Chain A
Protein backbone atom coordinates (compact mmCIF):
# COMPACT_ATOMS: atom_id res chain seq x y z
CA UNK A 1 0.00 0.00 0.00
CA UNK A 2 1.41 3.39 -0.91
CA UNK A 3 1.78 5.96 1.88
CA UNK A 4 -0.99 8.55 1.56
CA UNK A 5 -0.40 12.17 2.62
CA UNK A 6 -3.37 14.53 2.84
CA UNK A 7 -3.20 18.25 2.04
CA UNK A 8 -5.42 21.21 1.16
CA UNK A 9 -7.01 20.88 -2.31
CA UNK A 10 -4.53 22.32 -4.81
CA UNK A 11 -4.15 23.50 -8.38
CA UNK A 12 -3.44 21.81 -11.73
CA UNK A 13 -3.67 18.28 -13.17
CA UNK A 14 -2.92 14.93 -11.50
CA UNK A 15 0.72 13.94 -12.11
CA UNK A 16 3.22 11.18 -11.30
CA UNK A 17 6.93 11.83 -10.96
CA UNK A 18 10.09 11.84 -8.87
CA UNK A 19 10.67 14.11 -5.86
CA UNK A 20 13.52 16.56 -5.27
CA UNK A 21 13.32 17.76 -1.66
CA UNK A 22 14.97 20.67 0.15
CA UNK A 23 14.49 22.32 3.54
CA UNK A 24 14.59 25.64 1.71
CA UNK A 25 12.23 28.17 0.18
CA UNK A 26 11.54 28.90 -3.48
CA UNK A 27 11.32 31.72 -6.02
CA UNK A 28 11.76 31.32 -9.78
CA UNK A 29 13.37 34.76 -10.06
CA UNK A 30 15.73 34.47 -7.11
CA UNK A 31 16.84 30.87 -7.41
CA UNK A 32 16.75 29.56 -10.98
CA UNK A 33 18.68 29.73 -14.22
CA UNK A 34 15.55 29.25 -16.28
CA UNK A 35 17.42 28.73 -19.58
CA UNK A 36 19.58 25.89 -18.26
CA UNK A 37 16.88 24.50 -15.97
CA UNK A 38 19.04 24.47 -12.82
CA UNK A 39 19.03 26.09 -9.39
CA UNK A 40 21.52 28.94 -9.76
CA UNK A 41 21.53 30.96 -6.51
CA UNK A 42 24.77 29.92 -4.77
CA UNK A 43 23.23 29.70 -1.27
CA UNK A 44 20.27 27.53 -2.28
CA UNK A 45 20.14 23.98 -0.88
CA UNK A 46 19.77 22.61 -4.45
CA UNK A 47 22.35 24.89 -6.16
CA UNK A 48 23.53 23.34 -9.42
CA UNK A 49 20.79 20.67 -9.58
CA UNK A 50 18.29 20.35 -12.43
CA UNK A 51 14.61 20.98 -11.69
CA UNK A 52 13.28 20.00 -15.12
CA UNK A 53 10.50 17.42 -14.87
CA UNK A 54 10.94 16.97 -11.10
CA UNK A 55 8.40 17.33 -8.31
CA UNK A 56 9.97 20.02 -6.11
CA UNK A 57 9.24 19.79 -2.38
CA UNK A 58 9.98 22.91 -0.33
CA UNK A 59 9.10 24.61 2.88
CA UNK A 60 7.71 27.92 1.63
CA UNK A 61 7.61 30.45 -1.19
CA UNK A 62 9.73 33.56 -0.92
CA UNK A 63 10.44 36.89 -2.49
CA UNK A 64 8.81 38.68 -5.33
CA UNK A 65 5.94 38.48 -7.76
CA UNK A 66 7.73 37.35 -10.93
CA UNK A 67 7.08 33.64 -10.42
CA UNK A 68 3.43 34.34 -11.29
CA UNK A 69 4.47 34.82 -14.93
CA UNK A 70 7.53 32.60 -14.93
CA UNK A 71 5.91 29.17 -14.46
CA UNK A 72 3.81 29.82 -17.59
CA UNK A 73 6.89 31.00 -19.49
CA UNK A 74 8.96 27.99 -18.32
CA UNK A 75 6.18 25.58 -19.29
CA UNK A 76 5.95 27.11 -22.78
CA UNK A 77 9.61 26.16 -23.34
CA UNK A 78 9.22 22.71 -21.78
CA UNK A 79 11.85 23.27 -19.05
CA UNK A 80 9.69 23.35 -15.95
CA UNK A 81 9.16 21.44 -12.70
CA UNK A 82 6.47 18.75 -13.05
CA UNK A 83 4.85 19.90 -9.80
CA UNK A 84 5.45 22.00 -6.68
CA UNK A 85 4.78 20.79 -3.15
CA UNK A 86 5.09 23.11 -0.15
CA UNK A 87 4.33 23.27 3.52
CA UNK A 88 2.75 26.68 2.90
CA UNK A 89 2.85 28.95 -0.15
CA UNK A 90 2.28 32.64 -0.71
CA UNK A 91 -0.26 33.96 -3.22
CA UNK A 92 2.31 34.37 -5.98
CA UNK A 93 3.01 30.65 -6.28
CA UNK A 94 -0.71 29.88 -6.26
CA UNK A 95 -1.37 32.53 -8.91
CA UNK A 96 1.56 31.29 -11.01
CA UNK A 97 0.44 27.67 -10.79
CA UNK A 98 -3.13 28.63 -11.72
CA UNK A 99 -1.97 30.76 -14.66
CA UNK A 100 0.55 28.18 -15.92
CA UNK A 101 -1.62 25.12 -15.10
CA UNK A 102 1.26 23.67 -13.10
CA UNK A 103 0.36 21.17 -10.37
CA UNK A 104 0.79 22.62 -6.87
CA UNK A 105 -0.34 21.58 -3.38
CA UNK A 106 0.38 22.73 0.20
CA UNK A 107 -0.85 22.56 3.83
CA UNK A 108 -0.13 18.99 5.04
CA UNK A 109 -0.47 17.51 8.53
CA UNK A 110 3.20 17.70 9.42
CA UNK A 111 6.36 18.84 7.66
CA UNK A 112 6.18 17.64 4.06
CA UNK A 113 9.92 18.20 3.56
CA UNK A 114 10.45 15.48 6.20
CA UNK A 115 7.70 13.11 5.01
CA UNK A 116 8.89 13.01 1.38
CA UNK A 117 12.49 12.14 0.42
CA UNK A 118 14.46 12.96 -2.71
CA UNK A 119 13.99 10.09 -5.18
CA UNK A 120 10.51 9.13 -3.93
CA UNK A 121 8.07 8.29 -6.72
CA UNK A 122 4.92 10.39 -6.11
CA UNK A 123 1.39 10.67 -7.43
CA UNK A 124 -0.29 14.04 -6.77
CA UNK A 125 -4.07 14.49 -7.06
CA UNK A 126 -4.62 18.22 -6.40
CA UNK A 127 -8.42 18.13 -6.65
CA UNK A 128 -8.63 15.48 -3.93
CA UNK A 129 -5.82 17.00 -1.86
CA UNK A 130 -3.81 13.75 -1.85
CA UNK A 131 -0.13 12.94 -2.39
CA UNK A 132 0.78 9.23 -2.56
CA UNK A 133 4.34 7.95 -2.09
CA UNK A 134 4.26 5.11 -4.65
CA UNK A 135 7.84 3.98 -4.32
CA UNK A 136 10.81 4.76 -2.10
CA UNK A 137 14.36 3.85 -3.08
CA UNK A 138 15.36 0.55 -1.45
CA UNK A 139 11.92 0.04 0.09
CA UNK A 140 9.49 -0.52 -2.76
CA UNK A 141 6.30 1.26 -1.77
Chain B
Protein backbone atom coordinates (compact mmCIF):
# COMPACT_ATOMS: atom_id res chain seq x y z
CA UNK B 1 0.00 0.00 0.00
CA UNK B 2 1.07 3.54 -0.74
CA UNK B 3 1.74 5.49 2.50
CA UNK B 4 2.49 9.18 2.94
CA UNK B 5 5.14 10.53 5.32
CA UNK B 6 2.75 10.84 8.25
CA UNK B 7 1.48 7.28 7.77
CA UNK B 8 5.01 5.90 7.51
CA UNK B 9 5.89 7.68 10.75
CA UNK B 10 2.88 6.10 12.45
CA UNK B 11 3.93 2.67 11.20
CA UNK B 12 7.45 3.26 12.51
CA UNK B 13 6.01 3.94 15.97
CA UNK B 14 6.92 7.64 15.98
CA UNK B 15 3.36 8.55 17.00
CA UNK B 16 3.25 5.96 19.78
CA UNK B 17 2.21 2.32 20.14
CA UNK B 18 -1.59 2.75 19.74
CA UNK B 19 -1.21 4.44 16.34
CA UNK B 20 1.51 1.96 15.29
CA UNK B 21 -0.80 -0.96 16.11
CA UNK B 22 -3.70 0.80 14.39
CA UNK B 23 -2.02 1.50 11.09
CA UNK B 24 -0.34 -1.93 10.97
CA UNK B 25 -3.78 -3.53 11.42
CA UNK B 26 -5.24 -1.32 8.70
CA UNK B 27 -2.43 -2.20 6.29
CA UNK B 28 -2.97 -5.95 6.89
CA UNK B 29 -6.68 -5.59 6.13
CA UNK B 30 -6.07 -3.16 3.25
CA UNK B 31 -3.59 -5.47 1.54
CA UNK B 32 -6.00 -8.38 1.88
CA UNK B 33 -8.52 -6.31 -0.13
CA UNK B 34 -5.93 -4.82 -2.55
CA UNK B 35 -6.39 -1.26 -1.23
CA UNK B 36 -3.90 1.12 -2.86
CA UNK B 37 -3.87 3.63 0.01
CA UNK B 38 -5.72 4.93 3.07
CA UNK B 39 -8.61 7.41 2.87
CA UNK B 40 -9.26 10.06 5.56
CA UNK B 41 -12.50 9.44 7.48
CA UNK B 42 -14.56 12.00 9.41
CA UNK B 43 -16.21 9.72 11.99
CA UNK B 44 -15.59 6.29 13.48
CA UNK B 45 -18.08 4.11 15.39
CA UNK B 46 -16.95 1.19 17.55
CA UNK B 47 -18.84 -2.01 18.29
CA UNK B 48 -17.28 -2.98 21.62
CA UNK B 49 -19.80 -4.89 23.70
CA UNK B 50 -18.10 -6.97 26.38
CA UNK B 51 -19.69 -10.25 25.32
CA UNK B 52 -17.73 -10.03 22.07
CA UNK B 53 -14.61 -8.46 23.58
CA UNK B 54 -14.34 -10.91 26.46
CA UNK B 55 -11.57 -10.60 28.99
CA UNK B 56 -9.06 -10.82 26.13
CA UNK B 57 -10.50 -7.86 24.23
CA UNK B 58 -10.84 -5.67 27.31
CA UNK B 59 -7.27 -6.55 28.26
CA UNK B 60 -6.15 -5.55 24.77
CA UNK B 61 -7.84 -2.12 25.07
CA UNK B 62 -6.38 -1.57 28.53
CA UNK B 63 -2.93 -2.41 27.19
CA UNK B 64 -3.17 0.32 24.55
CA UNK B 65 -4.43 2.89 27.06
CA UNK B 66 -1.14 2.68 28.97
CA UNK B 67 0.38 4.92 26.30
CA UNK B 68 0.63 8.66 27.12
CA UNK B 69 -2.59 10.60 26.51
CA UNK B 70 -1.29 12.42 23.43
CA UNK B 71 -0.51 9.06 21.82
CA UNK B 72 -3.82 7.38 22.57
CA UNK B 73 -6.44 10.08 21.83
CA UNK B 74 -8.59 9.39 18.77
CA UNK B 75 -8.11 11.85 15.89
CA UNK B 76 -11.69 11.95 14.59
CA UNK B 77 -15.03 11.87 16.46
CA UNK B 78 -15.40 8.24 17.54
CA UNK B 79 -18.73 6.93 18.82
CA UNK B 80 -19.78 3.65 20.46
CA UNK B 81 -22.34 1.06 19.42
CA UNK B 82 -24.64 -0.43 22.12
CA UNK B 83 -22.98 -1.87 25.21
CA UNK B 84 -23.25 -5.22 26.98
CA UNK B 85 -25.41 -3.95 29.81
CA UNK B 86 -27.31 -0.99 31.20
CA UNK B 87 -26.16 -0.46 34.80
CA UNK B 88 -29.63 0.69 35.87
CA UNK B 89 -31.46 -2.49 34.76
CA UNK B 90 -28.89 -5.30 34.58
CA UNK B 91 -29.94 -6.96 37.83
CA UNK B 92 -33.60 -7.02 36.82
CA UNK B 93 -32.55 -8.76 33.59
CA UNK B 94 -30.52 -11.42 35.40
CA UNK B 95 -27.10 -10.17 34.31
CA UNK B 96 -24.27 -10.64 36.77
CA UNK B 97 -21.94 -8.35 38.72
CA UNK B 98 -19.01 -9.95 36.87
CA UNK B 99 -20.53 -8.77 33.57
CA UNK B 100 -21.00 -5.29 35.03
CA UNK B 101 -17.39 -5.21 36.27
CA UNK B 102 -16.02 -6.17 32.83
CA UNK B 103 -18.31 -3.58 31.23
CA UNK B 104 -17.00 -0.88 33.59
CA UNK B 105 -13.42 -1.74 32.60
CA UNK B 106 -14.28 -1.54 28.90
CA UNK B 107 -15.95 1.84 29.34
CA UNK B 108 -12.97 3.22 31.27
CA UNK B 109 -10.61 2.04 28.53
CA UNK B 110 -12.73 3.49 25.70
CA UNK B 111 -12.99 6.83 27.52
CA UNK B 112 -9.20 6.88 27.86
CA UNK B 113 -9.00 6.98 24.05
CA UNK B 114 -11.34 9.99 24.03
CA UNK B 115 -14.19 7.93 22.58
CA UNK B 116 -17.67 9.47 22.93
CA UNK B 117 -19.88 6.95 24.74
CA UNK B 118 -23.00 7.26 22.60
CA UNK B 119 -23.86 3.54 22.99
CA UNK B 120 -26.13 3.58 19.99
CA UNK B 121 -26.82 1.85 16.69
CA UNK B 122 -29.11 4.68 15.52
CA UNK B 123 -26.52 7.45 15.52
CA UNK B 124 -27.65 8.34 11.98
CA UNK B 125 -31.03 9.31 13.50
CA UNK B 126 -29.82 10.84 16.74
CA UNK B 127 -26.17 12.02 16.81
CA UNK B 128 -24.68 13.29 13.54
CA UNK B 129 -26.24 12.09 10.28
CA UNK B 130 -23.61 11.64 7.53
CA UNK B 131 -23.64 13.61 4.29
CA UNK B 132 -23.26 12.38 0.73
CA UNK B 133 -19.71 11.41 -0.19
CA UNK B 134 -18.46 11.49 3.40
CA UNK B 135 -15.94 8.69 4.13
CA UNK B 136 -16.66 6.97 7.44
CA UNK B 137 -15.55 3.99 9.53
CA UNK B 138 -18.87 2.77 10.91
CA UNK B 139 -18.97 -0.24 13.18
CA UNK B 140 -22.49 -1.62 13.00
CA UNK B 141 -23.93 -3.19 9.88
CA UNK B 142 -27.22 -1.31 10.25
CA UNK B 143 -25.37 1.98 10.58
CA UNK B 144 -23.18 1.24 7.58
CA UNK B 145 -26.01 0.28 5.24
CA UNK B 146 -28.16 3.27 6.27
CA UNK B 147 -25.24 5.71 5.97
CA UNK B 148 -24.17 4.33 2.57
CA UNK B 149 -27.64 4.01 1.09
CA UNK B 150 -29.92 6.71 2.47
CA UNK B 151 -27.23 9.40 2.81
CA UNK B 152 -24.78 8.32 0.12
CA UNK B 153 -21.85 8.19 2.55
CA UNK B 154 -18.95 5.72 2.12
CA UNK B 155 -18.13 3.11 4.74
CA UNK B 156 -17.23 -0.55 4.94
CA UNK B 157 -18.33 -2.74 7.83
CA UNK B 158 -15.67 -1.81 10.38
CA UNK B 159 -15.44 -4.31 13.23
CA UNK B 160 -14.45 -3.07 16.67
CA UNK B 161 -10.66 -3.32 16.30
CA UNK B 162 -10.76 -1.71 12.84
CA UNK B 163 -13.08 1.12 13.92
CA UNK B 164 -10.78 1.88 16.86
CA UNK B 165 -7.84 1.82 14.45
CA UNK B 166 -9.68 4.29 12.20
CA UNK B 167 -10.31 6.59 15.16
CA UNK B 168 -6.62 6.48 16.09
CA UNK B 169 -5.26 7.10 12.57
CA UNK B 170 -8.17 9.17 11.17
CA UNK B 171 -8.13 6.89 8.12
CA UNK B 172 -9.45 3.68 6.68
CA UNK B 173 -8.06 1.40 3.95
CA UNK B 174 -9.55 2.47 0.60
CA UNK B 175 -11.39 -0.64 -0.62
CA UNK B 176 -14.98 -1.82 -0.91
CA UNK B 177 -17.65 0.86 -0.50
CA UNK B 178 -15.14 3.72 -0.54
CA UNK B 179 -14.78 2.96 -4.27
CA UNK B 180 -17.28 3.75 -7.05
CA UNK B 181 -16.89 0.33 -8.68
CA UNK B 182 -18.18 -1.47 -5.58
CA UNK B 183 -21.31 0.71 -5.39
CA UNK B 184 -22.92 -0.35 -8.66
CA UNK B 185 -26.14 -2.34 -8.53
CA UNK B 186 -25.64 -6.08 -9.09
CA UNK B 187 -29.21 -7.34 -8.51
CA UNK B 188 -32.65 -5.86 -9.20
CA UNK B 189 -35.76 -6.46 -7.08
CA UNK B 190 -39.23 -5.34 -8.16
CA UNK B 191 -41.50 -4.64 -5.18
CA UNK B 192 -45.15 -5.51 -5.95
CA UNK B 193 -46.65 -5.00 -2.48
CA UNK B 194 -46.00 -2.19 -0.02
CA UNK B 195 -44.92 -3.31 3.47
CA UNK B 196 -47.61 -2.26 5.96
CA UNK B 197 -45.50 -1.86 9.10
CA UNK B 198 -41.93 -1.86 10.36
CA UNK B 199 -41.77 -5.64 10.83
CA UNK B 200 -42.72 -6.05 7.16
CA UNK B 201 -40.07 -3.56 6.04
CA UNK B 202 -37.68 -5.78 7.99
CA UNK B 203 -39.12 -8.88 6.32
CA UNK B 204 -38.53 -7.27 2.93
CA UNK B 205 -34.93 -6.58 3.94
CA UNK B 206 -34.59 -10.21 5.01
CA UNK B 207 -35.97 -11.47 1.68
CA UNK B 208 -33.61 -9.30 -0.36
CA UNK B 209 -30.72 -10.12 1.97
CA UNK B 210 -31.21 -13.89 1.71
CA UNK B 211 -31.33 -13.58 -2.09
CA UNK B 212 -28.11 -11.52 -2.19
CA UNK B 213 -26.17 -13.39 0.49
CA UNK B 214 -22.91 -11.49 0.08
CA UNK B 215 -21.21 -8.27 1.12
CA UNK B 216 -20.27 -7.65 -2.51
CA UNK B 217 -23.84 -7.70 -3.85
CA UNK B 218 -25.65 -4.34 -4.21
CA UNK B 219 -29.43 -4.67 -4.62
CA UNK B 220 -31.51 -2.11 -6.51
CA UNK B 221 -35.13 -2.07 -5.33
CA UNK B 222 -37.78 -0.39 -7.45
CA UNK B 223 -41.57 -0.32 -7.40
CA UNK B 224 -41.76 1.64 -4.14
CA UNK B 225 -44.64 4.07 -4.58
CA UNK B 226 -43.95 6.51 -1.72
CA UNK B 227 -40.84 7.36 0.29
CA UNK B 228 -40.66 5.10 3.36
CA UNK B 229 -39.86 6.90 6.61
CA UNK B 230 -36.56 6.77 8.47
CA UNK B 231 -37.73 3.97 10.80
CA UNK B 232 -38.96 1.88 7.86
CA UNK B 233 -35.61 2.21 6.08
CA UNK B 234 -33.84 1.55 9.38
CA UNK B 235 -35.63 -1.81 9.79
CA UNK B 236 -35.27 -2.61 6.09
CA UNK B 237 -31.53 -1.87 6.05
CA UNK B 238 -30.73 -3.58 9.35
CA UNK B 239 -32.47 -6.77 8.22
CA UNK B 240 -30.86 -6.61 4.76
CA UNK B 241 -27.42 -6.26 6.34
CA UNK B 242 -28.08 -9.00 8.87
CA UNK B 243 -29.63 -11.61 6.56
CA UNK B 244 -27.41 -10.84 3.58
CA UNK B 245 -24.25 -9.15 4.91
CA UNK B 246 -25.19 -6.38 2.44
CA UNK B 247 -23.74 -2.86 2.96
CA UNK B 248 -25.50 -0.76 0.29
CA UNK B 249 -28.86 -0.70 -1.47
CA UNK B 250 -30.35 1.62 -4.05
CA UNK B 251 -33.98 2.75 -4.18
CA UNK B 252 -34.10 5.08 -7.19
CA UNK B 253 -35.72 8.40 -6.31
CA UNK B 254 -35.38 7.72 -2.57
CA UNK B 255 -31.77 6.90 -1.69
CA UNK B 256 -28.90 9.31 -2.29
CA UNK B 257 -26.57 7.39 -4.58
CA UNK B 258 -26.92 6.98 -8.34
CA UNK B 259 -28.18 3.48 -9.07
CA UNK B 260 -25.67 2.61 -11.78
CA UNK B 261 -26.04 -1.05 -12.89
CA UNK B 262 -22.88 -3.14 -12.72
CA UNK B 263 -23.70 -4.57 -16.18
CA UNK B 264 -26.43 -4.73 -18.81
CA UNK B 265 -29.69 -6.54 -18.09
CA UNK B 266 -29.63 -7.17 -14.35
CA UNK B 267 -31.78 -10.18 -13.46
CA UNK B 268 -34.98 -9.03 -11.73
CA UNK B 269 -36.61 -10.79 -8.77
CA UNK B 270 -40.23 -9.93 -7.97
CA UNK B 271 -41.23 -9.59 -4.31
CA UNK B 272 -44.93 -9.43 -3.46
CA UNK B 273 -47.39 -10.02 -0.63
CA UNK B 274 -46.95 -13.80 -0.77
CA UNK B 275 -43.18 -13.55 -0.25
CA UNK B 276 -43.51 -11.12 2.66
CA UNK B 277 -46.18 -13.28 4.34
CA UNK B 278 -44.08 -16.41 3.80
CA UNK B 279 -41.03 -14.78 5.40
CA UNK B 280 -43.03 -13.89 8.52
CA UNK B 281 -44.75 -17.31 8.56
CA UNK B 282 -41.32 -18.98 8.54
CA UNK B 283 -40.92 -17.87 12.17
CA UNK B 284 -44.55 -18.46 13.27
CA UNK B 285 -45.44 -20.40 16.41
CA UNK B 286 -49.16 -19.77 17.09
CA UNK B 287 -50.51 -20.67 20.50
CA UNK B 288 -47.11 -20.84 22.13
CA UNK B 289 -46.37 -19.21 25.46
CA UNK B 290 -44.21 -16.09 25.03
CA UNK B 291 -41.27 -15.81 27.43
CA UNK B 292 -39.87 -12.49 26.27
CA UNK B 293 -41.02 -9.72 23.92
CA UNK B 294 -38.18 -7.54 22.62
CA UNK B 295 -38.30 -4.16 20.93
CA UNK B 296 -34.71 -3.53 19.80
CA UNK B 297 -32.25 -4.25 16.97
CA UNK B 298 -32.08 -1.46 15.99
CA UNK B 299 -32.70 0.68 19.06
CA UNK B 300 -36.03 2.51 19.02
CA UNK B 301 -36.39 6.04 17.72
CA UNK B 302 -38.38 8.56 19.75
CA UNK B 303 -41.30 8.02 17.35
CA UNK B 304 -41.22 4.25 17.95
CA UNK B 305 -41.10 4.89 21.72
CA UNK B 306 -44.22 7.05 21.45
CA UNK B 307 -46.03 4.44 19.33
CA UNK B 308 -45.16 1.75 21.86
CA UNK B 309 -46.34 3.89 24.78
CA UNK B 310 -49.67 4.39 22.98
CA UNK B 311 -50.05 0.69 22.13
CA UNK B 312 -49.35 -0.30 25.75
CA UNK B 313 -51.57 2.38 27.23
CA UNK B 314 -53.78 1.08 30.06
CA UNK B 315 -52.52 -2.51 29.69
CA UNK B 316 -50.32 -4.80 31.78
CA UNK B 317 -47.61 -7.18 30.66
CA UNK B 318 -48.44 -10.80 31.59
CA UNK B 319 -46.63 -11.87 34.81
CA UNK B 320 -44.99 -14.83 33.03
CA UNK B 321 -43.73 -12.66 30.16
CA UNK B 322 -40.96 -10.04 30.10
CA UNK B 323 -41.19 -7.07 27.76
CA UNK B 324 -37.88 -5.32 27.03
CA UNK B 325 -37.47 -2.05 25.14
CA UNK B 326 -33.98 -0.91 24.11
CA UNK B 327 -33.18 2.59 22.97
CA UNK B 328 -30.22 4.94 22.91
CA UNK B 329 -29.23 7.11 25.90
CA UNK B 330 -30.25 10.27 23.99
CA UNK B 331 -33.71 8.93 23.18
CA UNK B 332 -34.10 7.54 26.70
CA UNK B 333 -33.48 11.00 28.13
CA UNK B 334 -36.03 12.46 25.73
CA UNK B 335 -38.53 9.69 26.55
CA UNK B 336 -38.02 10.33 30.27
CA UNK B 337 -38.59 14.06 29.78
CA UNK B 338 -41.75 13.48 27.74
CA UNK B 339 -43.23 10.92 30.11
CA UNK B 340 -42.97 8.04 27.61
CA UNK B 341 -40.66 5.90 29.79
CA UNK B 342 -43.05 6.20 32.71
CA UNK B 343 -46.02 5.20 30.57
CA UNK B 344 -44.19 2.17 29.17
CA UNK B 345 -42.79 1.01 32.52
CA UNK B 346 -46.19 1.42 34.23
CA UNK B 347 -47.27 -1.66 32.26
CA UNK B 348 -44.49 -3.77 33.77
CA UNK B 349 -42.16 -3.39 30.77
CA UNK B 350 -38.43 -2.66 31.14
CA UNK B 351 -36.89 0.27 29.24
CA UNK B 352 -33.12 -0.11 28.84
CA UNK B 353 -30.75 2.51 27.44
CA UNK B 354 -27.50 1.96 25.55
CA UNK B 355 -28.00 -1.76 24.92
CA UNK B 356 -29.60 -3.63 22.03
CA UNK B 357 -30.50 -7.04 23.58
CA UNK B 358 -28.56 -9.42 21.34
CA UNK B 359 -25.28 -7.72 22.28
CA UNK B 360 -26.13 -8.12 25.97
CA UNK B 361 -25.16 -11.70 26.81
CA UNK B 362 -28.36 -13.02 25.22
CA UNK B 363 -27.38 -16.64 25.85
CA UNK B 364 -26.79 -16.05 29.57
CA UNK B 365 -30.06 -14.06 29.78
CA UNK B 366 -31.93 -17.04 28.33
CA UNK B 367 -30.38 -19.33 30.94
CA UNK B 368 -30.88 -16.99 33.89
CA UNK B 369 -34.53 -16.26 33.08
CA UNK B 370 -35.62 -19.54 31.49
CA UNK B 371 -36.36 -17.74 28.21
CA UNK B 372 -36.76 -19.55 24.94
CA UNK B 373 -39.81 -18.26 23.06
CA UNK B 374 -39.05 -14.72 21.91
CA UNK B 375 -41.33 -12.36 19.99
CA UNK B 376 -40.14 -9.18 18.29
CA UNK B 377 -40.95 -6.80 15.46
CA UNK B 378 -37.27 -6.89 14.38
CA UNK B 379 -36.47 -9.06 11.36
CA UNK B 380 -32.80 -8.55 12.27
CA UNK B 381 -33.23 -9.98 15.75
CA UNK B 382 -35.04 -13.14 14.59
CA UNK B 383 -32.07 -13.85 12.33
CA UNK B 384 -29.43 -13.43 15.04
CA UNK B 385 -30.98 -14.85 18.14
CA UNK B 386 -31.47 -18.52 17.15
CA UNK B 387 -27.77 -19.20 17.71
CA UNK B 388 -28.21 -18.13 21.36
CA UNK B 389 -30.83 -20.86 21.97
CA UNK B 390 -34.01 -18.82 21.42
CA UNK B 391 -37.00 -19.71 19.24
CA UNK B 392 -37.92 -16.33 17.77
CA UNK B 393 -41.09 -15.14 16.03
CA UNK B 394 -41.72 -11.96 14.05
CA UNK B 395 -44.87 -9.82 14.34
CA UNK B 396 -46.05 -6.23 14.16
CA UNK B 397 -45.65 -3.90 17.15
CA UNK B 398 -49.38 -4.23 17.88
CA UNK B 399 -49.31 -8.04 17.80
CA UNK B 400 -46.17 -8.10 19.96
CA UNK B 401 -47.96 -5.95 22.53
CA UNK B 402 -51.07 -8.19 22.43
CA UNK B 403 -48.89 -11.26 22.99
CA UNK B 404 -47.00 -9.59 25.85
CA UNK B 405 -50.34 -8.86 27.55
CA UNK B 406 -51.83 -12.30 26.87
CA UNK B 407 -48.59 -14.17 27.63
CA UNK B 408 -48.91 -16.19 24.43
CA UNK B 409 -49.05 -15.83 20.67
CA UNK B 410 -52.39 -15.80 18.93
Contact = CB atoms under 8 A, between A and B. Distances in A.
Interface residues of A, number: 40
B120 interface: no
Main SS class of interface, B: helix
B29 A91 contact: yes
A68 B161 CA distance: 7
Is the contact region of chain A dominated by helix, strand, or loop, or is it mixed? Answer: mixed
A95 B47 contact: no
Given A61-B245, A65-B141, A95-B162, A29 B52 contact: yes
B157 A43 contact: no
Contacts of B13: none
Interface stretch (B262-270, B288-296, B322-330, B382-390): B382-390
Contacts of B160: 65, 68-69
Contact of B159 (A25, A30, A69, A89): A69
A43 B158 contact: no
B32 A64 contact: no
Interface residues of B, number: 46
A13 interface: no
B140 A65 contact: yes
Of A43, A61, A65, most buried by chain B (CB within 10 Å of CB) is A65
B252 interface: no
Contact of A91 (B81, B159, B384): B159
Interface stretch (B53-61, B218-226, B346-354): B53-61
B56 A72 contact: yes
Contacts of A11: 28, 32
Interface string B195-218: 000000000000000000111100
Nearest to B46: A65
B257 interface: no
Interface string B75-88: 00000010000000
B159 A76 contact: no
Interface string A63-96: 1111111101101110000000000111110111
B242 interface: yes
A36 to B, nearest CB: 11
Contacts of B214: 60, 88, 90
B279 to A, nearest CB: 14
A70 B216 contact: no
B407 interface: no
A92 B33 CA distance: 12
B162 A64 contact: no
B35 to A, nearest CB: 11
Given A41-B387, A65-B160, A88-B216, A72 B47 contact: no
B25 interface: yes
A76 B161 contact: no
8 contacts: A25-B245, A30-B384, A65-B47, A66-B49, A77-B56, A95-B25, A95-B29, A98-B25
Given A11-B32, A64-B242, 20 more contacts: A25-B245, A29-B384, A30-B383, A31-B387, A41-B387, A60-B213, A62-B245, A63-B141, A63-B383, A65-B139, A65-B159, A66-B359, A68-B159, A69-B161, A70-B52, A72-B161, A91-B29, A91-B162, A98-B25, A98-B28
